[in-house]
């Protein structure tokens, strides 16, 4: 349900923490399972909704709005979404090229070939990453590497399925950009109110 047309719409950028579900409305069954929801991160007006989703195990930038039309526009415009992904092992150039060109993943029980995307190696300083409630295994269990993947699509758990398809399972997934909006140094659970006319 949207707020009244007489009330200015509100828009937010949040850093979704690990373990949270990208929803506001809960039911008693979910509450009993001790799920964590976005409403626990602050006081949001009635009708606030997430623009798109991040699965429970993923972290990073998520946009919220009370404006259903703006949500629809952003979702339908196929804006770029950039993810920084920690994978198990040292990613090879061959794997990177496969990811760029498109790999076969399973979506709703059928094979799907991902669209070409941007992929590159990135360096990450662990001290600058949002704090995470569940630690990632350390280097004693083998090396890891970080990559940037930029997509204009968003199938369920797509990035995780893509890295697994080339033999490098995802250990940590952090969305760092949606269009022109960046996560920057936001920490887990942080909420920033956006200007009414923010550009995407």
Active-site residues, by number, are: 55
111, 81, 88, 105: which is closest to 162 by C-alpha?
Answer: 105
Rounded Cα–Cα distance for residues 86 and 32 (Å) = 32
Kindly list the distances between the CA atom of residue 80 and the CA atoms of 110, 136, 154, in Å, as whole numbers in the listed order.
Answer: 25, 27, 10
Closest CA to 50 of 29, 75, 32: 75
Neighbouring CB atoms inside 10 A of 44's CB total 17
């Amino acid at each position: 349900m949207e707020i009244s047309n007489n009330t200015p719409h509100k828009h937010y950028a949040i850093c979704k923490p690990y373990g949270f579900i990208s929803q506001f409305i809960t039911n008693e069954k979910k509450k009993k399972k001790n799920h964590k929801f976005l409403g626990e991160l602050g006081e949001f007006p009635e009708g606030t909704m997430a623009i798109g989703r991040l699965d429970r195990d993923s972290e990073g930038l998520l946009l919220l709005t009370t404006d259903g039309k703006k949500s629809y526009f952003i979702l339908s415009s196929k804006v770029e979404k950039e993810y920084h992904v920690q994978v198990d092992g040292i990613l090879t150039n061959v794997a990177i090229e496969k990811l760029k060109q498109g790999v076969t993943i399973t979506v709703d029980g059928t094979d799907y070939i991902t669209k070409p995307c941007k992929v590159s190696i990135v360096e990450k300083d662990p001290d600058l990453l949002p704090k995470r409630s569940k630690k990632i295994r350390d280097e004693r269990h083998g090396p890891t590497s970080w990559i940037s993947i930029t997509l204009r699509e968003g199938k369920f758990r797509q990035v995780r399925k893509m890295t697994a398809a080339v033999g490098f399972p995802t250990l940590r997934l952090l969305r760092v950009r949606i269009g022109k909006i960046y996560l920057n140094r936001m920490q887990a659970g942080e909420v920033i109110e956006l200007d009414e006319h923010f550009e995407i």
